[in-house]
Amino acid sequence: MEKEKEPVMSLSKERKIARKKEIEQMKRNAVISKIVSICVVVVLCVGLVSYIGYSIYRRATRVTPNSNYSSQLNDNGFIDGVEASSLLNLVDYKSIKVPLSEVEYSDESVAKDIEKAVEAKKTLNKETDAAIADGTIVNIDYVGTVDGKEFEGGNTNEKGADLKIGSNTYVDDFEKQLIGHKIGDEVTVNVTFPDDYENKELAGKDAEFKVVINGIYDVPEFTDAFVKENLSEYASNVEDYKKYLKDTNYASNLTKYIETYLADNTTVISYPEKYVKQLKSIMKFEEQSYYEAMNQYYLENLGTQAFRSFEEYTGMSESKYDKYLTEPVQKQVKANLIYQAILEKEGISVSEADYISYLETQGKTKEDYDKEVESYGKGFVIQKMVKIKALELVKGMVTVE
Q: How far apart are CA 2 and CA 138, in angstroms?
A: 125
pLDDT confidence bin for 57, thresholds 50/70/90: very low
Cβ contact 340:74 at 8 Å? no
Judged against a pLDDT cut of 70, whether residue 13 lies above it is answered with no
pLDDT confidence bin for 15, thresholds 50/70/90: low
Predicted pLDDT of residue 29: 64
Q: How far apart are CA 114 and CA 119, in angstroms?
A: 9
CA dihedral 227, 229, 232, 233 (to 10 degrees): -120
Average pLDDT over residues 307-320: 94
Predicted pLDDT of residue 182: 95
pLDDT confidence bin for 396, thresholds 50/70/90: very high
Predicted pLDDT of residue 289: 96
Q: What's the gap between Cα 372 and its chain centre?
A: 24
Which of 46-50, 300-304, 373-377 reaches the highest mean pLDDT? 373-377
Judged against a pLDDT cut of 70, whether residue 127 lies above it is answered with yes
Query: At 140, is the secondary structure helix, strand, or coil?
Result: strand
Predicted pLDDT of residue 42: 55
Q: What is the pLDDT of residues 341-364, one digit of tens each?
A: 999 999 999 999 999 999 999 999
Within 10 Å of residue 381's Cβ, how many Cβ atoms?
24
User: How do strand 267-268 and strand 161-164 relate by DSSP bridges?
Assistant: unpaired
φ and ψ at residue 45, rounded to 5 degrees = -65, -45
Q: What percent of the chain has pLDDT over 70?
A: 85
Predicted pLDDT of residue 147: 93
Judged against a pLDDT cut of 90, whether residue 265 lies above it is answered with yes
Angle in degrees, CA 53, 58, 62, rounded to 5? 165
Q: What's the gap between Cα 28 and its chain centre?
A: 66
89: closest CA among 265, 329, 261?
A: 265
Q: How far apart are CA 156 and CA 141, in angstroms?
A: 6
Within 10 Å of residue 337's Cβ, how many Cβ atoms?
27
pLDDT confidence bin for 35, thresholds 50/70/90: low
Judged against a pLDDT cut of 80, whether residue 20 lies above it is answered with no
Q: How far apart are CA 305 and CA 297, in angstroms?
A: 8
Q: What is the pLDDT of residues 130-147, one digit of tens each?
A: 999 999 999 999 999 999
DSSP state of 78: S
Judged against a pLDDT cut of 60, whether residue 327 lies above it is answered with yes
* Terminal alpha carbon distance of the chain: 125
More confident residue, 95 or 19: 95
Predicted pLDDT of residue 46: 55
Please give the model's pTM, rounded to 2 decimal places.
0.75
Q: How far apart are CA 338 and CA 330, in angstroms?
A: 12
> DSSP secondary structure string, 176-242?
GGGTT--TT-EEEEEEE--TT-SSTTTTT-EEEEEEEEEEEEE-----HHHHHHH-TTT-SSHHHHH
Predicted pLDDT of residue 33: 64
More confident residue, 44 or 69: 69
Q: How far apart are CA 139 and CA 132, in angstroms?
A: 11
Judged against a pLDDT cut of 80, whether residue 103 lies above it is answered with yes
Predicted pLDDT of residue 88: 97
pLDDT confidence bin for 7, thresholds 50/70/90: very low
Q: How far apart are CA 215 and CA 208, in angstroms?
A: 21
> DSSP secondary structure string, 328-370?
HHHHHHHHHHHHHHHHHHHT----HHHHHHHHHHTT--HHHHH
108: closest CA among 251, 256, 246, 253?
A: 246
Q: How far apart are CA 265 and CA 2, in angstroms?
A: 107
Q: How far apart are CA 4 and CA 391, in angstroms?
A: 115
Q: What is the pLDDT of residues 211-230, one digit of tens each?
A: 999 999 999 999 999 999 99
Average pLDDT over residues 291-318: 93
More confident residue, 89 or 5: 89
- Over the chain, what is the mean pLDDT? 89
Q: How far apart are CA 143 and CA 209, in angstroms?
A: 5
Per mean pLDDT, which range of 57-61, 75-79, 246-250 is the poorest? 57-61
User: How do strand 88-89 and strand 267-268 relate by DSSP bridges?
Assistant: antiparallel
Which residues have CB under 8 Å from 202's CB, separation 6+?
A: 146, 151, 193
Predicted pLDDT of residue 3: 42
pLDDT confidence bin for 9, thresholds 50/70/90: very low
